[in-house]
Amino acid sequence: MATRKIVEIDAERCNGCGQCVDACAEGAIRLIDGKARLVKDDYCDGLGACLGECPQGAITIIEREAAAFDEVAVSTHLADDVQQAPKQPRHQHAGGGCPGSMMRQFSACPGEATPVEGAPSALRQWPVQLHLVSPTAPYFRDADLLLAADCTAFACGDFHARLLADHALAIACPKLDNAQGYVEKLAAMIRDGGVRSITIAMMEVPCCRGLEHMVELALRAAGKAIPVKRVIVGIEGNVS
């Protein structure tokens, strides 16, 4: 066995919601006795797609001796799942599906909340996607960083004036993007790039809490303490 990155689940923090189970395309995580468990080392690719799905922050990526990731074993494992339960998902949330993907429809805000036509943009840099930005870009030096979930700018009608003004920006999706890569990028921005504070803007849905967990891991990796603020944007646009 070689030392490699692999998922570790804190059973004490796990509440058995099962969101990580749905997020693991390899079927490496199962609910056993009401807790998420890594069922076999060689099913886990160590990339951490499940990190952003855990509302309890119970999942981390560690390095330890483990069997190598085995794509053939995963294919067989998933094929066995289909044969044993062809019509049953590995886990189903109460109400059906991931809470963050639940279909909803609601009325638009009243007219007085509509942004003024031609309102100036508060964006002061490009690119903005966390995968694309350079951690040592000059606009991060001594900057207050707004780390925003992709959806927040669409839900918050006054995003630019309320959240983005006087901030450098990085956007990410903890549900769909590579969480481990983002942790490393954020750590470099904190350690080497000169970011002096972080405001995390996230949606109210559980999967968005992965942003906060990524910042916690990045601060630990960077070995620095900087102020961190959290802003929650509701699906209907309320901000808290």
What is the 3-class SS of the chain, one letter each residue? CEEEEEEEECCCCCCCCCHHHHHCCCCCEEEECCEEEECCHHHCCCCCCCHHHCCCCCEEEEEEEECCCCHHHHHHHHHHHHHHCCCCCCCCCCCCCCHHHCCCCCCCCCHHHCCCCCCCCCCCCCCCECCCCCCCCHHHCCCEEEEEECCHHHHCCCHHHHHHCCCEEEEECCCCCCHHHHHHHHHHHHHCCCCCEEEEEEECCHHHHHHHHHHHHHHHHHCCCCCEEEEEECCCCCEC
**How high is the pLDDT of residue 111?**
47
- Report yes or no on 59 lying in a domain: yes
- Report yes or no on 103 lying in a domain: no
Query: Are 86 and 128 in a shared domain?
Result: no
| Domain at 204, CATH number | 3.40.1360
- Domain tally, the chain: 2
**How high is the pLDDT of residue 101?**
57
Q: pLDDT per residue over 191-217, tens digit each?
A: 999 999 999 999 988 778 778 888 988
Query: Are 93 and 127 in a shared domain?
Result: no
Query: Are 141 and 228 in a shared domain?
Result: yes
Query: Are 187 and 229 in a shared domain?
Result: yes
**How high is the pLDDT of residue 190?**
96
Query: Are 94 and 135 in a shared domain?
Result: no
| pTM as predicted | 0.62
**How high is the pLDDT of residue 84?**
54
Q: pLDDT per residue over 171-183, tens digit each?
A: 998 777 777 788 8
Query: Are 134 and 66 in a shared domain?
Result: no
**How high is the pLDDT of residue 55?**
85
Spans of the chain, pLDDT less than 70: 79-117
